[in-house]
Structure 1
């Protein structure tokens, strides 16, 4: 682990991310699960997830934004290693972490699986049917094709991490615009929200250098 001098972080975290899979070797899933901050953190702490980002999808109106969402929904997009995770593993997290049996009070927060191809659609439909068989209830969550995805504003990306004093500022200074696609940031965003386990945290923190102040704030949140 690179030493930290004068309470300043090194670029060790960027070195860790250099080992992450490039997009050409990953697959992508897109889910609407209510406010996108929580799912972003939950998936970010999942082993096998390489990158996460939040945004707007599932509607028809052009150029959605947070204050002009139109008919779009808040969604999380999850880039993952198919050698480590199956799409069905992500669906298990999805079904368990939103209410599939009731509609949201606003389209903005609805539950929806936005599939990228026919294989994802078949798996999503199969898991939906299995949930209905298991519970005896009708699932209202929609399964639709993803037509477009518009990234949300920067302040929504890795929201839990950005909202953590000292640590969030340090990571923003370290990564700049690359924060949204950082594997390290995705993990830390999940950790500060209470996801992940002790072994995950120990493994990551052994590979990155944080200032004493940032490390103290992280430990306070865990």
Structure 2
């Protein structure tokens, strides 16, 4: 993440809907996402979700407790998740609101905020009861999306993957430093699956795994 990105700049970009610019400024210089990953995560409908989730994570990396900026970003992100849920419900088939890869990005941002909340006594938690419920329910929804994707991959005889190869690489990039997720992600199985040649050669996967190695202690 770009440590020079100010909170005021983040909020300005969020309020003006400049999500592509937000993504460009948040991602560490020299660590641009591989094109297939960027295309997967930054369609007009998905770019706001990706940018807002990364923004929440950025804010929490620079603070010790939930800030007003994090609360604004949380509200904006959950509103976008709700819109995505509506599109999924009204679409031609029943599906999760977000792709597994995007769900992992959203989950990682929300977990960073939840970690801050968990360190505070209840009477010192600046989040309202509604915000806490929103945070918890949105985390649960993304966890469910990843669980269903992992189970579906088993049915496709692709054990260990979560979604397709690119989704799985995104999951490792975002959640590879969260061994506490345990059975949800199953990092050892995911890492092993991503070592398969046919998986690693999928467009964007090898390059993203290099980014993941730089961001986590997981040896992909």
Same fold (TM over 0.5): no
Q: Which has the larger radius of gyration?
A: 1
- Select the structure that is richer in strand: 1
- Select the structure that is richer in helix: 2
User: Which of 1 and 2 has higher RCO (CA within 8 Å, sep 6+)?
Assistant: 1
